[in-house]
Chains A and B, each alone.
Chain A
């Protein structure tokens, strides 16, 4: 492929990381643990979610190893049930939900809107402490024997029939929920109140729009999850009789309450990822995002519609046929904004000047995998095919395409994209391009066979399965090992680059966002003077004029 690149680094012989930046301003453990700086909190978050990602990933590895053979021979069924439950809980509540917003969002949103920090720095720090507390309780749960409810805590299984650590697991999720409510709250206030002069709503980068939409979902949806978990815990301890029919409760009520949060939760997870893709695609094709308003409003539309589709998880659960009809229709509507985004991104490339650095490779991977993930969502949203496909590996494949193929790719795109801003140093380009390709291959090999398994009817959450499903499971496990390599590589070379990476300078990608117009790593309060936004978002001509001016003034 082409060797053309937009990377524009300062002369390595003279370049230095600025002496004064948010990383060097203060030293010592306490300066980190008591910081109010959004960039430091984002760094804390990044380290902690990476830690939990690898725990969750190791559990995923165990799942795939167990499924290599039809019998439950590596683990007993109980152990397997605990492993997939912990995998789900950790990946969803401790990785996917906070991944982009709490790390990248935390890091760049204040800079993108031209603010010194988030509106509520102490709440931001509290959010991280709650996250750590939630993580601690989750690890405690695992240490004392784990929990085997599945990440969905399905009642009455969770409230009556299991004697594992449901309460501490529920507590962990409950606490993690508050952490994400605080993050969302902080973003909403910041985006409303802290935009710099000239930064109108329609000059905001699309990443901000996407996180704003996700924040609304976090603030409005998460309390329902918290209530549901409290009810589960109360039912388990004092048998209040809300969900368990043996005490006069209704188990479908649990499904309604749980999915009222947990469906919007998938948009909490994916929307910020979509924001990353908008930034990356625009930057590496040197073009304004095609149809900025449509992309911005599609995020909001997803957030709004996302609240009214929860019962599509319950089509076969004995809800009224007519209710199923309504929820199926609304599900079809929520799919449209995602389709709009995909095509708008594709057309952003049109007449661009495209280069293929690592973030762009991940973004292109995202578009392919998210298209598959989104289209297979239609299979499940259409009531007829849902009957056959739900609760099988088809569902597993579908949400892994969206969450891993979509969100994780977006997260990695974002991490590579903002890494130079964060650390002041470049990651090594060749090996990271290699890692992106490895991830892509490994991902498809792991999850594509699962669509076929689902069509064949292989149920989810089976420790043992009929031997006729083995071949496809072997492919899947083989893919998972490749995928594992793809995820380990970035940890290694990004750590390496902290010391040995080339000095990045303030704007290595020549991107237009305000975060690129300050030094890397930024100062504690981001800008030396409050910026004034006098141009549209993604205005590459403005950037050129700006650079020409600088050259002239030198």
Chain B
């Protein structure tokens, strides 16, 4: 091999060393999913070996040279039943095992910390409750359950972290969620896996898993100074939501204090849980989601608030446990406006005063 240049050899060696054949396992779910993966690899290999063996053996044993006259056989119910039932059984094992993992990945534990992710062409905007805003990066602590609440502002995107074996579609117009618990500090790939237009392949980033001390340090040094809920409060005031949603007895809109997670009865008699998905709908399409006892007078905010803004409002409402902060916003709106001028028009005048 001396005629091959050593430079080429070095190049090849370096190249091949940087060719991983299996992704890192960096979450609690990853080893579980890999176990199923290898089970499936195993049954595939057994199946394939069996087929190859049968074909090769029969091809050799019964080639025309050796076996010039074919023996006609109709079939065999017993054999056919065997190769119906055994694959079916194996496939059902794969089904049950897969379903167990699937439910685990898409059922976040109640104590998971929530991070909002908004996908848009072509970036991931990550909003931490503490006011850390990231683009195409996600910092998470090791050993804690993290739930991602995903939404897209435009087209389908898909949030994929191969090292964690989790992936979830970010869909325009509805929240989806996924959770994971990272087990190994490090930096991992983050991909958008759903084709989303020109910059699809640039919609990639990193997930940084940090030890809890480093994570706390990162949280402190990266916050914008305003938590998501505080941003939401400011938006709430600037959109004059408090013109109706105040805690006064004659308020035209329902009281939002403690509404998050409660059961609401709607105009049409339906009962819903006031979760993020409902609140988002109620803000963007209020006429279809009016609470019982209130006139459907709220204007739509579709197209006026970005998904990031909706997330802030939801986070604000979620953290609204007393009426005090809400009344405070009434005072702040009387101060010189911060960043709004025309959008602050109050809701269309209510002709009817509705008292709950």
Chain A, residues 370-406, CB within 8 Å of chain B (1/0): the string is: 0110011011011111111011100000000000000
CB distance from A466 to the nearest CB of B (A): 7
Complex Cα distance, B80 from A163, in Å, reads 54
B-side interface mostly = mixed
Contact: B52 with A77, CB < 8 Å? no
**Which among B36, B37, B80, B166 has the highest number of chain A CB atoms within 10 Å?**
B80
CB distance from B211 to the nearest CB of A (A): 24
A87 on the B face (CB < 8 A):
no
Complex Cα distance, B75 from A292, in Å, reads 7
B1 on the A face (CB < 8 A):
no
A339 on the B face (CB < 8 A):
yes
Q: Which stretch from B60-68, B139-147, B232-240 is at the chain A interface?
A: B60-68
Known contacts being A77-B201, A349-B58, A368-B51, is A161 close to B155, with CB within 8 Å? Answer: yes
A324 on the B face (CB < 8 A):
yes
A28 on the B face (CB < 8 A):
no
A452 proximity list for chain B (CB < 8 A)? 21
Known contacts being A77-B201, A329-B95, is A351 close to B67, with CB within 8 Å? Answer: yes
Chain A, residues 346-361, CB within 8 Å of chain B (1/0): the string is: 1101111111100000
Contact: A352 with B62, CB < 8 Å? yes
Contact: B51 with A367, CB < 8 Å? yes
Q: Which of B18, B64, B158, B198 contacts A353 (CB 8 A)?
A: B64
* Interface size, B (range): 35 or more
Contact: B84 with A461, CB < 8 Å? no
A286 proximity list for chain B (CB < 8 A)? 70
Contact: A472 with B197, CB < 8 Å? no
B155 proximity list for chain A (CB < 8 A)? 154, 156-157, 160-161
A residues 417-459 with Cβ under 8 Å of B? 452, 455-457, 459
A257 proximity list for chain B (CB < 8 A)? none
B103 on the A face (CB < 8 A):
yes
Complex Cα distance, B62 from A217, in Å, reads 37
Contact: A316 with B167, CB < 8 Å? yes
Chain A, residues 519-549, CB within 8 Å of chain B (1/0): the string is: 0000000000000000000001100000000
B4 on the A face (CB < 8 A):
no
Q: Which of B23, B73, B154, B285 contacts A351 (CB 8 A)?
A: B73
Q: Which of B52, B54, B70, B75 contacts A540 (CB 8 A)?
A: B70
B residues 182-212 with Cβ under 8 Å of A? 189, 191-202, 204
A-side interface mostly = helix
Contact: A162 with B201, CB < 8 Å? no
Complex Cα distance, B99 from A347, in Å, reads 34
User: Residue of A at shortest CB range from B302?
Assistant: A246
CB distance from B34 to the nearest CB of A (A): 9
Contact: A354 with B64, CB < 8 Å? yes
CB distance from A510 to the nearest CB of B (A): 12
Known contacts being A251-B172, A321-B102, A384-B97, is A4 close to B52, with CB within 8 Å? Answer: no
B268 proximity list for chain A (CB < 8 A)? none
CB distance from B44 to the nearest CB of A (A): 4
Q: Which of A152, A340, A355 contacts B84 (CB 8 A)?
A: A340
Q: Which of B63, B167, B176, B197 contacts A318 (CB 8 A)?
A: B176
Contact: A347 with B74, CB < 8 Å? no
Complex Cα distance, B70 from A6, in Å, reads 12
B174 proximity list for chain A (CB < 8 A)? 245, 318
Contact: B54 with A346, CB < 8 Å? yes
B91 on the A face (CB < 8 A):
yes
A540 proximity list for chain B (CB < 8 A)? 70, 72
17 A–B contacts from the bound complex (CB under 8 Å): A156-B155, A157-B156, A251-B172, A294-B75, A336-B84, A343-B51, A343-B80, A346-B55, A355-B64, A384-B100, A385-B33, A386-B98, A392-B160, A392-B162, A457-B189, A468-B20, A541-B72
Binding site for B on A (CB under 8 A): 2, 4-6, 72, 77-78, 81, 148, 150, 152, 154, 156-157, 160-162, 244-246, 248, 250-252, 285-288, 290-294, 315-318, 321, 324-325, 328-329, 332-333, 335-336, 339-340, 342-344, 346-347, 349-356, 364, 367-368, 371-372, 375-376, 378-379, 381-388, 390-392, 452, 455-457, 459-468, 470-472, 540-541
**Extra 15 A-B pairs, beta carbons < 8 Å, given A77-B198, A293-B75, A368-B55:** A154-B194, A157-B155, A157-B197, A250-B173, A290-B75, A290-B76, A292-B75, A316-B167, A321-B103, A343-B54, A343-B83, A353-B64, A375-B47, A390-B167, A391-B160
